Structure 1
Amino acid sequence: MAQKEIVLTTNEIARRIFGQQDKSLKLIEDTFDVDILARGNRVQVEGEEEEVKRVAKLFSELSKVAINNNNLDEREIEYAIDLAMEDRFDLDKIYSDVIQVTYKGKKIKPKTLGQKKYIDSIRNHDIVFGIGPAGTGKTYLAVVMAVNALVTNQVRRIILTRPAIEAGENLGFLPGDLQEKVDPYLRPLYDALYEVLGPKKVNELLEQEIIEIAPLAYMRGRTLKDSFVILDEAQNTTSAQMKMFLTRLGVDSKAVINGDITQVDLPNRKASGLSQVRKILTDIEGIELIYLTNRDVVRHRLVQKIIEAYERS
């Protein structure tokens, strides 16, 4: 048996790591089969030598994150533990990357290694495909990166689009004007923008046509220049629609295409354009395919377990 005392910087740093009612400490104890005694900012760890070393490294990593004014939630602690079990200690690298600050002053950062890779890929490539299950931040992070590109004058416009497959892209039978017809299908894009920029600023940019949100069908025949373009729910594009979208890209533009190939809603068993591009567009310089997994899910911890259960079924 081995023992090690860990001294954290302050009691406040310790509080952020320990969690409410020491919930995080108990999780670490159970995962690594060690005994932890905490008093103030001092932590005594006892157990098998290798496990004690891992836990000490884990506390060091969590301390770096907490010092940077990060309140660690339960999901983030669980992810840190998962990494530590594999002897990977990359949290500080992940959380030190501030992508954008919201209108309320919240710092937006990646929360997993997969998300960090996704963000870096968007920075370094003109066309990026983000493929993975729900809850991995594909849409939200793409919108945040688009906002950052706009406010730093890398692009002049943001264009957000989705295939309105639920209405068969035939919106004429729905009541209301065009905007009222398509808004329900584009709501997740609005939600992400509102969180980052605030409703007032978003509405101003929409009126000025600096931000455009429209169904995929309305992209046909256009050339999108000086723009950050996001195609969301891309698993519901046909091969022809995907080709149409990709060939809209003009000079000084960037495109991010997101989707979950396990949730295709195309009628008559049509092939998904997103599935096909994985074979067609491999090994083209400037295009990157990023695969996110259930380990990158940042919603409620049960979402990850639900995805895993469906994968096993």
Structure 2
Amino acid sequence: MAEETVTKTFILSDSNEMIGLVGVNNHNLDVIAGELGVTLNPHGDQIRIDGDSKHGSMAYQVLTKLSELQRTGVKLAEQDVLSAAKMAQKGTLEYFLDFYSQSIIKDAKGEPIRVKNFGQRQYVNAIQHNAITFGIGPAGTGKTYLAVVMAVAALKAGEVDRIIVTRPAVEAGESLGFLPGDLKEKVDPYLRPIYDALHAVLGTEHTARLMERGVIEIAPLAYMRGRTLDSAFAILDEAQNTTPEQMKMFLTRLGFNSKMIVNGDISQIDLPSKKRSGLVQVQRILKGVNHIEFIYFSADDVVRNPVVASIIAAYDVVEKDAADRRAQSDKETN
């Protein structure tokens, strides 16, 4: 039985706050309404909330937090509004303002870089307190970007001497040999997300200078074999495409005064069908090991366009149904 619709009224202490809170053409209110399934109508210094009791209360709490954030001088963006709405649904809204109380570092434009949601906060906290952190979840959750941010922050603080970023070039396969240029030029397209993150945080020219000096190294995973990474911040991206042997090889490169981040999305494995993913296997092998932590992201943690989270959730449903059918078929066969 559907819950009865109730009406709440959110009143702003200052009518001048209304424009920033509701957004251009009421876009911020539309984002909240879409996430929480309520109707929001602004009028004067008030916003009328229509919906069931539970979601109406959530919407009121979200508006309260956003209003408080706006009064600190933060100009609300869609990501802020979306994050607040998702945190309300997950019961973590009480931590929302904490995200804005401190920044990790400033980007190339001088803007503070902060976590966007509770999942990212857990991820950053795990990196700060562990030697190896695994970030597992869908694209768009900020795993790669935050890994680069944390690496740059450690470099600037003098905690490490260099940053090493790697990933397997599985998608290239044998076609690598047919691509023009040397090995670096052949694998660079697969490392584009890393370059984009570094350029956003450090700037293009500064990144180039650090790479020329060897302070930042971006290389295929095969280049890690036989090395010991002391005083380094190492990032393995797209780790779902490592074999178990490659994963072990990378993890055992960890040297003194070093940190590692291993990121991947186990729903996007590009390995040949007969090969196992090292990222899938390592979760079982290293579970519970000291100084190693696994952080799992979901579609709710996506910080891209809200449609991306909906796409991921829809695919998850289909893939779960397919997995259930395969399991049932195997059971009947046996």
Query: Residues 2 and 288 (structure 1 numbering): CA distance in 2 closer, same or farther, change over 3 Å?
Result: same
- TM-score normalized by structure 2? 0.85
Q: Does the CA-based 8 Å contact 2:29-2:40 persist in structure 1? A: no
CA distance in structure 2 between the partners assigned to 1:258 and 1:7 by the alignment: 42
Q: Does the CA-based 8 Å contact 1:161-1:214 persist in structure 2? A: yes
Query: Residues 127 and 182 (structure 1 numbering): CA distance in 2 closer, same or farther, change over 3 Å?
Result: same
Q: Does the CA-based 8 Å contact 1:98-1:107 persist in structure 2? A: yes
Written as runs of structure 1 = structure 2, the 5 A alignment for 1:134-173 is 134-168=139-173, 171-173=176-178
* SS of alignment partner, residue 171 of structure 2: helix
1:66-88 superposed Cα distances (whole Å, 9 cap, x missing partner) = 23333333343233223334554
Q: CA RMSD in A?
A: 2.3
Aligned to 2:82: 78
Query: Residues 224 and 34 (structure 1 numbering): CA distance in 2 closer, same or farther, change over 3 Å?
Result: same
Written as runs of structure 1 = structure 2, the 5 A alignment for 1:28-47 is 28=32, 31=36, 33=38, 36-39=41-44, 42-45=45-48
1:269-297 superposed Cα distances (whole Å, 9 cap, x missing partner) = 20000000000001111000000010111
Q: Structure 1 regions of 5+ residues with no counterpart?
A: none
Q: Does 1:296 align with 2:298?
A: no
Query: Residues 44 and 271 (structure 1 numbering): CA distance in 2 closer, same or farther, change over 3 Å?
Result: closer
**Partner of residue 218 from structure 2, selected from 194, 213, 217:** 213
Aligned to 2:316: 311
* SS of alignment partner, residue 153 of structure 1: coil
Q: Does the CA-based 8 Å contact 1:169-1:217 persist in structure 2? A: no
**Partner of residue 20 from structure 1, selected from 21, 24, 33:** 24
Q: Does the CA-based 8 Å contact 1:8-1:63 persist in structure 2? A: no
The letter for the 2-side match of 1:63 is S
Report the CA distance between 1:105 and its aligned residue: 1.3
CA distance in structure 1 between the partners assigned to 2:228 and 2:297 by the alignment: 30
The letter for the 2-side match of 1:43 is Q
Written as runs of structure 1 = structure 2, the 5 A alignment for 1:1-313 is 4-9=9-14, 11=16, 13-28=17-32, 31=36, 33=38, 36-39=41-44, 42-45=45-48, 53-85=57-89, 87-89=91-93, 90-168=95-173, 171-313=176-318
Q: Percent identity?
A: 47
Give the length in aligned residue pairs: 310
The letter for the 2-side match of 1:68 is T
Q: Does the CA-based 8 Å contact 1:223-1:249 persist in structure 2? A: yes
